[in-house]
Structure formats: structure tokens, C-alpha cells
Amino acid sequence: MKRLPAALLVLLAVLTLGLSVYGFMAARSREQAQRVAADRLLLYTDSIEATLKRLSHLPGTIALHPDIGAVLERRHSADGFNRYLETIAQTAGGAILYVMDRSGETIAASNHATPLSFVGRNYSFRPYFRMAIEGGVGTHFAIGATTGVPGYFISHPIRLAGKPVGVAVVKIEFDDLLANWRRAGEPVFVTDNHGVIILSSVAPWQFKRMRTLSAAETAEIEANRKFAGTVLAPLEYQASGGAFEGEVTIDGNRYLASSAKLAGESWSLHYLTPLSPILDTAVLSGLLAGLLALLAAAIAHLFRVRAQQLLLARQAREAERIRAVNRKLEAEIATRRQAEQALLQAQASLVQTNRLAALGKMSAAIVHEVNQPVAAIRTYTSSGELLLKKGRKSEAADIFAQIRRMTERLGRITSDLLLFSRRTGQGFRPVDLNRPVRAIARELGAEAQAHAVRLETRLARRPLVVSGNPVRLEQLVSNLLRNAIHAASEQAGGRVVRVTTRCDDANIFLIVEDSGKGMSAETIGQLFEPFFTTKNIGEGVGLGLALCFAIVDEAGGRISAENRGEGGARFTISLPPAGAAGRSDRADRKTREAEHA
């Protein structure tokens, strides 16, 4: 009866050892399997990318053929071009080449002599056609609408006189690639951006979906006829984490899933390692360890008591060491918490100090700006009353005109603050950027002459149409030109302000340059912050350039400032053409606002 507990301990030890060895070997086998999977993923990724790139140059080569224009314009028969495409396709192998006109109708194809010839068929519904006819290079995976064979389409625009008039396409089929995969006997497949399996070494899995498609995705697939009426049934699988990674079970078989993204496409490659061999090896290792433990149990029993005493002593020392470490950690945690609390208090105090300083600076500037016209209005009002009492109406009218100008000045100050706080984008319409530039240049001509500044305009000859509020665009130009005139007027000689408009393929530019003394690096860094100004109090509240930034930003553009190499400053504004501003990326807008903040 006394031997029973010892026997149970031995059995427990043997079981524990076997389980530990099993867990260790299972983890080690998993790590090794993951390393092998990473190598296999790289190999399969290279094979797919090599298949896609091998023939990617053919559409561009066909687009350069000297007879392509005559064939597209129906001035030459397409028979010779059909044979030319057929020869190239036979040489390349595993591809179909064809040419479409700008309406999407196929006028020549390498498979012209087959029952499933593409000639005469219209593929304008395919995304690769639309991308190429708009001037870009298109790519698309789909099941062939004519052949029913899946393939990867690469398109290239055919240009005449610099304009796309047709599209050259190569269709790459994957029969050889899939045959090699299936001969390898490894579960591997590729999913597209919709989570649909488009290539698979396991034939029943092909064209099954990994997730539920949204209504928008379903509509897009149907519009592009990407899967040619194929029913996209779900791939039934179970995963421990929900997502297709780690351990997954498909058709009752357990796998270890590894994935990688394919460069250039929104595709994912998935490689599955069967778990059965890994677990079998771990089980055999655990059983062998158990048998060895049973052989050693007899010897271990003789030293059990001594081993227990040593173990208890070691555990006591370890417990004491852990308690000492815990006490030390508790002391360090208390010290750290005190330091963090002190830091938080210091940060809060600094933030409050900065806010009060900014508020004081803003209040001083605004109060000084408002007090001057208010004091002037009070003085003019008293003078006007006195003149009216004396019957001097003409002089009183002049006084009231001065009062009106003072109120207009007050209105400008408050409207600047309102415009800065209300950036709504209302009143947008197409505006020729040259018009507000000309108008403001005429308006400020006299002011420039008064400061002995030469105002030069170099405007584009054709209209540069942007989308914006005409009044705010005039305010943008006015603020920039007034600042430039003020900067140039501080120079002893060579006082020049130059405003230029031009455009490129993507943007319309407004550039304002002056011959002043330029700006410091610190000034450039804070230039577009509200209430930042290098002028004296009373000369401005620091909202001009902040308003410029807001006006440009709401129009979907960018504004930047720099010093010119020959002296002075340069402000560059880039705006999207009318029609493009609405397509500007909102994420990019948020990034610019975060940088400004």
C-alpha cells in the first residue's frame, strides 16, 4: 500500500515527460514546417510572377508595329496582322494575342482561325480595356467570356498622334503552371482582392470564395463578367482565430496555413502544410521518451527522497529570490509612478502656459487692430455731428465716408476670423485662375507704385480653369501679393514682385515671388499657423497666410513657401484642374490637415 503513491508519481512523471516531449517536438516541427513553407511560398511566388512577366512586353511591342494604325483604321486588311499575331503566340506559347479598336471590338487575334476566335467580339466591358484606352497599362484576371478558360490579361494602349486609338492585349493562361503545382502534390492556391480562389493546385477549390462578398463587390464582378457566370460557392473551413491563418481545417483535414502577398497585384498566395505528419512525429517522440523514462524510473526511485529534498530546497531559494525581486519591482514601480505623476503635472502646466501665451498674443493683436478703427470712428462721429450742426454738409459727408472705411476695416478683420473658422467650400464653380490674378494685379497696381515696387505678371495664354470660390480665390491672390509688395518694399533697390501662372499634366500652378530679404527657417516652419506674424502689433493679426492655406486646402490643392536662391521668397500653389478636385483623395487631405495642425 505504501508503494502506490510512488508508482503514481512515476506514472505521472512518465506521462508529463511524454507530453513535454510531444509538445516540444510538435512546436519544433511546426517551426521547421513554417520555415519550409516560407521557402515554398517564395518559390511559388517567383513562379507566378515569372509567368506573368514573361509575356508582359508583348502588348507594348504589338502597339509599335508599323501597320497597326492602318489595321485599326480599316485601311489594310487584318488577315496579315492575324497571321503575325498567330506567329508570335505560337513562339511565346500559352498565350492569346489580340487587338481592339477604341470601341472595344476585336479586329485581329492570334486565334482567328479557331472556332472560339476573338475577332469581331467586343470586350469593352473588361477593366483592362478601359484602363488601356485611357492611356495606362491594364491588368485583369478573369474567366474568358468566349473560351471559358481563366487567364490573366495585360493590355497596352495603341497611340496615333499621341492619342489612344486602340488596345493590344495578351491573355496568359495558367494550364502549365497549375499542372506543375498539381504534380508537386502540395495544397497551394491564390486569392484575389475579393477573396476568391483564382488559382489552386486542388481543383475542387478553384473559384470558391474565402469570405462573404459585399453587394458592391458582387455588382463589380457581374459588371466585369470576371467569373463568366460561375457560382462562387464558399470554401468551407474552420480556423482557430477566425481568419485564414495558423491552424485551419478543410474537408476534415488539418493544415498549417502560411500566406504571402504578390507584388504588383492585390493577390495573396496561401500554402498549406498538412499537420498529420507533424503530429505523428511528435506522438512517436513522446512515446519514445515515455519508454526511456520507464527504463530510468528504477534508478530514479533510489534517489527520489534525496531528489525531493534538493528540489524543496531549490524551490525555497527560488521562492525567496522571487519575493526579493518582487519587492524590488514594487519599489521601482512606486518610484516610476511618482515620476510619471510629476511629469504629467509639469506637462499640464506647460500646456496651460502655452495656451495663455497664445491667447495673450492673439488678444493683443486683435484688440490693437480693432481699437484703432473704433477710436477713429468715435473721433469722426464727434466731428461729423459738429459739422452737421454748422451746416457744413460736404465736409460731414467726407467724415461719414471715413467712418464707412473704418467700419469696412472692422468688417475685414472679423470676416478674416470667420473665414478662418468656416471652411465650408460653398460657392464652388469653375474659375479661370488668370481672372482673379489680373483683377487683383490691377487693384494693387497703385499700391505697388506707391512703394516703388515693379509688379510683373506672367500669365498662361490659355485659360487655367480650377474649381473654387471666385471671391476666396481673389482673397488668396490679394493676400499673397500684398505680402510680397510689403516684403519687396523693405529693400533699398530692385523692388520686384512677379506673379506667374502655368500648368502641367496634373496641376495648375500660381507662383508669387518677391525680391525681399527672404525668410528664416523658423519663420517658414510656422508660416501658415494662425496668429503667427513677423509684423509689428497693429500691422496684422497673423491670419493672412493661414487663410491662404485654408482656401488652397478646401480647393484640394497645396501651398508651400521657400527662399529664392537669388534672394527673396517664393510661394507656390498647386491646384487640381476643374473636375479633378472632386476626385482628390480625402486621406491625403486629412494628412495635410494633420501636418498643418
* CA distance linking residue 557 with residue 573, whole number of Å: 7
Burial 556-567 (b: 16+ CB within 10 A, else e): bbbbebebeeee
Smallest CA-to-CA distance from 32 within 185, 258, 237, 250 is with 258
Burial bucket for residue 405 (CB in 10 Å: 0-12, 13-18, 19+): middle
Q: Name the 3-class secondary structure at 518.
A: coil
Which CA distances in Å does 530 have to 105, 456, 479, 542, 550? 57, 29, 14, 6, 10
The architecture that CATH gives domain 424-596 is: 2-Layer Sandwich (3.30)
* CA distance linking residue 203 with residue 197, whole number of Å: 10
Smallest CA-to-CA distance from 244 within 221, 272, 218, 225 is with 272
For 105, other C-beta atoms within 10 Å of its C-beta total 15
* CA distance linking residue 427 with residue 419, whole number of Å: 13
pTM, rounded to two decimals:
0.47
pLDDT at residue number 1: 44
Smallest CA-to-CA distance from 499 within 525, 468, 464 is with 464
Query: What are the φ and ψ backbone dihedral angles of 134, each rounded to 5 degrees?
Result: -90, 0
Pairing of strands 496-503, 454-458: parallel
pLDDT at residue number 593: 46
Cell numbers linked to 264: 504588383
* CA distance linking residue 59 with residue 64, whole number of Å: 9
* CA distance linking residue 97 with residue 117, whole number of Å: 11
Residues 6+ apart with CB under 8 A from 99: 62, 68, 71, 72, 81, 85, 106, 107, 108, 109, 158, 166, 167, 168, 169
* CA distance linking residue 159 with residue 63, whole number of Å: 8
Terminal-residue alpha carbon distance, the chain: 80
Cell numbers linked to 488: 519687396
Q: At CB < 8 A and 24+ separation, what contacts does 83-89 make?
A: 85/109, 85/110, 85/112, 86/110, 86/111, 86/112, 86/113, 88/58, 88/62
- The pLDDT tens digits along the chain (597 residues) read 455 576 777 677 777 777 787 777 777 877 888 888 889 999 999 888 888 888 889 999 999 999 898 899 888 888 999 999 999 999 887 689 999 999 999 999 999 999 999 999 999 999 999 999 999 999 999 998 888 899 999 999 999 988 999 999 999 988 888 998 999 889 999 999 999 999 999 999 999 998 999 999 999 888 888 887 788 999 988 887 767 888 899 988 889 889 999 877 789 999 999 888 877 776 777 777 777 777 777 777 677 778 888 888 889 998 999 999 999 989 989 999 999 888 888 876 775 565 555 555 555 555 555 665 676 787 878 888 888 888 888 888 888 887 887 786 666 566 555 555 555 556 789 999 999 999 899 988 888 998 999 999 999 999 999 999 888 899 899 999 999 999 999 887 889 999 999 999 999 999 999 998 888 888 887 777 766 666 654 455 566 788 888 889 988 999 999 999 888 999 999 999 988 644 444 434 544 444 444
